[in-house]
Amino acid sequence: MSQRGLVILGSTGSIGRSTLDVVDRHPGAFRIEALAARSSVELLLEQYRKYHPRYLCIVDSAQERVLRSQIGHEKVEILCGEAALISLAGLSDADIVVNAVVGAAGLRASLETIRHQKILALANKESLVTGGPLFAPLLEQGKAQVFPIDSEHSAIWQAMMSGRREEVRKLLLTSSGGPFRTLPADRFGDITVDQALNHPTWKMGPKITIDSATLANKGLEVIEAVTLFGVSAEVIEVVIHPQSIVHSMVEFIDSSVVAQMSLPDMRLPITYALFWPRRVQSEFGRIDWSRPLTMTFETPDMEKFPLLATAFDVARTGGTAPAIFNAANEVAVEGFLAGTLRFVEIADIIRRTLDAVSMIGRPELDDILRADQVARQLAREHMEKIAC
């Protein structure tokens, strides 16, 4: 395989760093064209010194001066701001754009990647959640190459190759159940930020870790799967699997179930996306079959985790509903992490925001961006009322 140019958006985050670890393990396979972050200037500088990309981008303008002062006259183009980050998706020497930005902030860069007919290695699930109506027709017509990095969607992508699209009966999305799977419902009112950040099987960035504790993450993944695989929400079932060994499954019409398994390590789906259609030697994620291995599966408790049921409703509604759900969730999670909202109030904020914002069935990009802004504003207002 010839060397491929990589752009990594969100290189300083959990997925961004894991992607660079994969790059390190395959010397000569990739050339880093560009790295981008929001504000982690020190880590971005460290990455620059190691990978020497042609472009460096920092979204937060307050950090641009620091970046420039540290780099001086070296051969790298320094860019700043959101529009600059999006423009990296169109670099002529880039073959693959890894979108590892967190939140709806990643949407436009994903669309730009598709517009330039590049491979989108996608961790930023919020792109497919908020931009579903824009991506769905492109995926359907084969005009977009989106290779999922989310482990569940990577598993389904791999399992789908065992049969034809019309032979699929169910997509079974697995979930660890998060840290509160066994916590009684009457103790949810006392959940602290530290407890919610303590995920039992995965080490991830703070936003997705909280989403995994509320199961909003699984809800976002349901919506992501609807767009990515072109199925209705009815085809998707969530299965709680606390060991996080089976990353998801596909049930075919002959009742065969095909699963993808490994130890939980995001470098595995990242490697799969970067090298597809090849598989390459990897040391991580290997199961030791000589030791006893217990795997359990159960149905989710939708009453304890109401956001999962809400996400299914939102997936059925479509249009701008997923963008509203996502925006309210981002605001509520920020509020919870900042200590202004209780864990159980995250779902209230989202429900109230969904009830208050009018939806558009067939939105254009501007409609989606407007719905996102209005939902954020309303979610903040609801949060302020709760805090009073």
Ligand X SMILES: NC(=O)c1ccc[n+]([C@@H]2O[C@H](COP(=O)([O-])OP(=O)(O)OC[C@H]3O[C@@H](n4cnc5c(N)ncnc54)[C@H](OP(=O)(O)O)[C@@H]3O)[C@@H](O)[C@H]2O)c1
Residues 6+ apart with CB under 8 A from 236: 170, 171, 173, 222, 225, 226, 315
Total residues contacting ligand X (rule CB under 6 A)? Answer: 28
Query: In 10 A of CB 117, how many CB atoms?
Result: 10
- For 145, 204, 215, 216, the CA distances from 198, given in Å and listed in that order, are 34, 10, 14, 16
CB of 251 to ligand X, least distance (A): 23
Place of tokens 């060994």: 245
- Beta carbons within 8 Å of 76's beta carbon, 6+ residues apart: 48, 52, 53, 54, 55, 56
Closest CB to ligand X among residues 94, 352: 94
178: left (phi over 0), alpha (psi -120 to 50) or beta: left
Residues numbered 98 to 117 that lie near ligand X (CB under 6 A) are 100-102, 105
User: Closest CB to ligand X belongs to which residue?
Assistant: 13
Please give the structure tokens belonging to residue 384: 């302020």
Min dist. Cβ of residue 207 to ligand X (A): 6
Give me the least distance between CB of 116 and ligand X, in Å please. Answer: 18
What Cα–Cα distance (Å) separates residue 181 from each residue in 32, 199, 215, 347?
40, 11, 10, 16
Least CB distance to ligand X at residue 213 (A): 13
Q: Which of residues 221-280 bind ligand X (CB under 6 A)?
A: 266
Q: Pattern of binders to ligand X over 25-64, x per CB under 6 A?
A: ------------xxxx------------------x-----
- Which range, of 9-17, 20-28, 157-165, 332-340, touches ligand X by CB under 6 A? 9-17
Q: Which of residues 185-214 bind ligand X (CB under 6 A)?
A: 202, 204-205, 207-208
Q: Which is nearer to ligand X, 128 or 139 (CB)?
A: 128
Q: Verify binding: residue 88, ligand X, rule CB under 6 A.
A: no
Q: Is the torsion defined by CA of 165, 169, 171, 176 positive or negative?
A: negative
List 7, 15, 134, 144, residue binding ligand X (CB under 6 A): 15
Q: Specify the 3-state DSSP secondary structure of 239.
A: strand
Exposure string of 313-335, with b = 16+ CB inside 10 Å and e = fewer, is ebbebbbbbbbbbbbbbbbbbbb
Smallest gap from Cβ 36 to ligand X, in A, equals: 6
CB of 130 to ligand X, least distance (A): 11
By beta-carbon proximity to ligand X, the closer residue of 212 and 310 is 212
* Contact positions vs ligand X (CB under 6 A): 10-16, 37-40, 59, 85, 100-102, 105, 123-126, 150, 202, 204-205, 207-208, 266
